[in-house]
Amino acid sequence: MSIHPKFARLILEGKKKVEFRRTSFAFHVSYVVIYATTPIKKVVGYFEVKRIQVANPEELWQLYSDVGGIEHQVYQNYYNDLDKGFAIEVGRVYQLNNFLSLDCISTSLIAPQSYMYLDKNLFNSIRLNQNLF
């Protein structure tokens, strides 16, 4: 999952306990790999998905504003006129010992616009570089 470096850092530090999204996953997901976008452009860690909450943006804000790591105005702009939003609750977080560029993981990977699904072999190669937080 592509995440802005500021929010990726907050997740790794345990300060951001939920990732807000405009769309949800097409398949069941147990882990989210964190790809920090520009200027870092690397996989920095991953987290276990506790659950995914679906609700209107006002309800999500009431539930998660204290752990969302985002200012209210930025949140409102993000959801704009949507009737439904998704909150991915962050479980256990794993930071990589060495951040990985995508080509170090696989030469066929490109930066995802939002989500990308990894096969078990790619995910396991990422897991070998972790620190538990």
pTM above 0.75, yes or no: yes
Which tens digits make up the pLDDT trace of 38-63?
999 999 999 999 999 999 999 999 99
Number of domains forming the structure of the chain: 1
pLDDT of residue 130: 63
Task: Say how far apart CA 53 and CA 64 lie, in whole Å.
Answer: 10
Over residues 112-129, the pLDDT tens digits come to 777 788 989 889 889 887
DSSP helix/strand/coil, 96: strand
Give the distance from CA 58 to its chain's centroid. 21
Q: Mind listing the pLDDT tens digit for each residue in 4-45?
A: 999 999 999 999 999 999 999 989 999 999 999 999 999 999
Domain CATH number, residue 45: 2.30.130.30
Which ranges of the chain would DSSP assign to H, the alpha helix?
5-12, 57-64, 72-79, 102-105, 120-127
Q: Are 19 and 87 in contact (CB under 8 A)?
A: yes
Residue 78 burial (CB < 10 Å; 0-12/13-18/19+)?
Answer: middle
Range of the domain at 55: 2-132
